[in-house]
Amino acid sequence: MHILQPKHTKLKPEEVKELLIKYNISLSQLPKIKSTDPSVPQDSIPGTLIKIERKDEEGKINTFFRAVV
């Protein structure tokens, strides 16, 4: 991982379930990321949910979620 690349973390099934219930959405409603993307963790398969943590100019961490396709 490069120092400028945001942190990509694979979520556990129970974390995915909590997230989907919290926001009242389905997995298909989340933005997608290809499994061939170099930033996706190695053992990710389609249907996996990835948590992406980015820092803004002020140092605040913003969290985004992507579904692997």
- Position 3 confidence tier, pLDDT thresholds 50, 70, 90: low
Instruction: Check pLDDT > 90 for residue 68.
Output: yes
Count Cα atoms within 13 angstroms, Cβ side, for 37: 17
The length of the chain is 69
CA gap 22, 3 in Å, rounded: 31
Instruction: Show the domains of the chain with their CATH numbers.
Output: 7-68 (3.90.940.20)
Return the pLDDT at 1.
59
Mean pLDDT of 57-68: 92
Tens of pLDDT, residue by residue over 10-61, are 999 999 999 999 999 999 999 999 989 888 888 888 989 999 999 888 889 9
